[in-house]
Chain A
């Protein structure tokens, strides 16, 4: 009900003049600092009287937050008297983005901010940050050790826009114990929809009355999966080459491939082979770890939790293809780091970049990957002790990296770049869910959902003047 109390402006104040209420406007423009968004060199940090303060807004809590705090502490210790980074948890990705919007309005953005993949186009359009490419060019920074699939996603119009950091890719997880009981080989999990169905028929266990006690498959109706399935099928998610050759004007998730996926999903539920989960991914995870569903789809980031929570052996395989002849490939998920330039001094901008470089070292990434299950953004990180040890203990940790390495780099696997990606994802979920929970045929439900995104896309493009 509360509509943004912090957003005040001149127009509304006029309404209050009659009340004799004086409101001090706090929507002033950002003061001072670099208004051209350029990358300052290392010399700006020389001869400082006190450490440059860098506030870092992120969305990492629990285990992931602790690992991140450890990295921040290490950086601060190494840069004592020079740079001091303060991490600040801003809630989940959506909440962090909402806070960032409010901060832009008030001219008080943090120096460094973590924004999820779906917010990439918005971050570019809001024009607050120094493009990552500017730092790369100014310092001659070598991006070759960075995972190609990540560079592919975060490069728009030929320039790297932000620095990938906490990134993941989805996998198919299997209950190895259930596989063995059903006489299936857990080392070669199903790779496409038809194979999943075959395996599910053997994995589904019914009691004497015919009530299902263990389902073969169960995963959340999660829009990210639609994006993944489309990339692996070699079809774009939105037009204009996934929004990378020009502004996207429509989404294409009413593609026959997706319709095939949704119909398959419906059939699995109708035939009692898959449990109906709904849109909440927590419920999908719970269905898997409790042993209720023997196969599920989830991010690599869930692997650590699965191993910890499940009382069976967890196996992982590549995210499935829709049909066996699909080209494959994988889009990344997760978030990247953006350095705010607007309203910040050269020292702050440079200090943020120094910190980002530290996070991208193989050493930091090895710790990060081993501690969280996220990818090692710097592929050299996989060769360092923490990551190696982790991979020896749990070979499943290597599957995601292998899946990305197997992925062809093209516009379909780059993923769709669009200002209203989150709305598109929700629309895809609603279309998919409509097909599952009503009599609406999949083709119609997906077409209707895709059509619904056109208006927000047009309005967004209009408001950024294109």
Chain B
């Protein structure tokens, strides 16, 4: 981590006022001063120690362990018992795993795009509502309060084959029945809809806060120039929401890539693997069906880590340039 910066920051905060100007660092410091600086560093490390320990225990250790497991085969109890090199990674070059990655990609797009656009639409439309705006915002933000499990159970009732609430409504309207979870083509989108609904509340909260922080003068200036309605939204509000939108895209991408509960409850990855995303595939190898194949699961977990890193890096590289920070 960037410990030098932290140390420097910590040092300048000490009231003794020894914060040295930059050039002083390159000239040899007097002995006493060096000792003092050493003490400061020690103090800083002492303060950092708890968080470093927690970080190491809960992030670095599991990461190291995952790496170790990914290079080993398991016995039937799940204990690593032989070194297999990179063969778990080599095995991934199959159409099945390609299918898992494609499903992951489709799921992520199907969650992030409608989720962010939907939240934006809700917030912009609510801007036009004068009375009860706060109440409506609260209502739209409500899904945020649902746990993944309860939201998924509710949707499983909506989708339930044979007794689908949604199909009941369609039937009343005289429309065709939809195989929400039992068709390979539909199931993924049904899970996406559930996830979008769950994420909508958070998006609304973030964007509503963003709108509230746009300076009034800007809106007034735009109005004086004759911008109203859609024009105002497109050329003023949305660009001013750049940082919030960017944040939402990054966070919901990571969330989508790590989604598990809704898939587990609604489809178990089926029908025929059509909703098996990378996370679900990891779960299946490691825990489902009494397999305990921690080697292959760990190898896939590292692939997931890589995917998340690449997505986030690309988003920062491409999108963030376009974001206007007020």
Contact = CB atoms under 8 A, between A and B. Distances in A.
Interface SS majority for chain A: helix
Contacts of B160: 283, 286
B78 interface: yes
Contact of A433 (B57, B272, B301): B272
Contact of A21 (B53, B66, B76, B181): B53
A118 B290 CA distance: 9
B77 interface: yes
Nearest to B270: A279
A28 interface: no
Interface stretch (B2-10, B22-30, B210-218, B280-288): B280-288
B286 A419 contact: no
B177 interface: yes
Contact of B279 (A1, A430, A433): A1
A441 interface: no
B: interface residue count bin? 35 or more
B128 to A, nearest CB: 41
B270 A430 contact: yes
Nearest to B184: A437
Contacts of A420: 291
B219 interface: no
Contacts of B290: 94, 97-98, 118-119, 122, 422-423
B268 interface: yes
B98 interface: no
Given A209-B174, A430-B273, A15 B67 contact: yes
Given A4-B286, A105-B79, A12 B64 contact: yes
B78 A4 contact: yes
Contact of B64 (A16, A94, A283): A16
Interface string A2-23: 1111011101100110010101
Interface in A411-448: 419-420, 422-423, 425-426, 429-430, 433-434, 436-438
Contacts of B286: 3-4
Given A8-B65, A278-B181, A104 B77 contact: yes
B182 A3 contact: no
A119 B77 CA distance: 12
A280 interface: yes
Interface of A: 1-5, 7-9, 11-12, 15-16, 19, 21, 23, 94, 97-98, 101-102, 104-105, 118-119, 122, 125-126, 209, 211, 215, 218, 275-280, 283-284, 286-287, 290, 292-293, 419-420, 422-423, 425-426, 429-430, 433-434, 436-438, 456, 460, 463-464
26 contacts: A1-B301, A1-B304, A4-B78, A5-B62, A15-B67, A16-B61, A19-B56, A94-B288, A98-B287, A98-B290, A101-B78, A122-B76, A122-B290, A211-B177, A218-B162, A278-B267, A283-B162, A287-B162, A287-B163, A422-B290, A426-B289, A436-B271, A437-B183, A437-B271, A460-B76, A464-B76
Given A7-B78, A16-B60, A122-B76, 15 more contacts: A1-B260, A1-B279, A1-B282, A9-B80, A11-B68, A98-B292, A126-B76, A126-B77, A215-B162, A276-B179, A279-B270, A286-B160, A430-B272, A437-B182, A437-B272
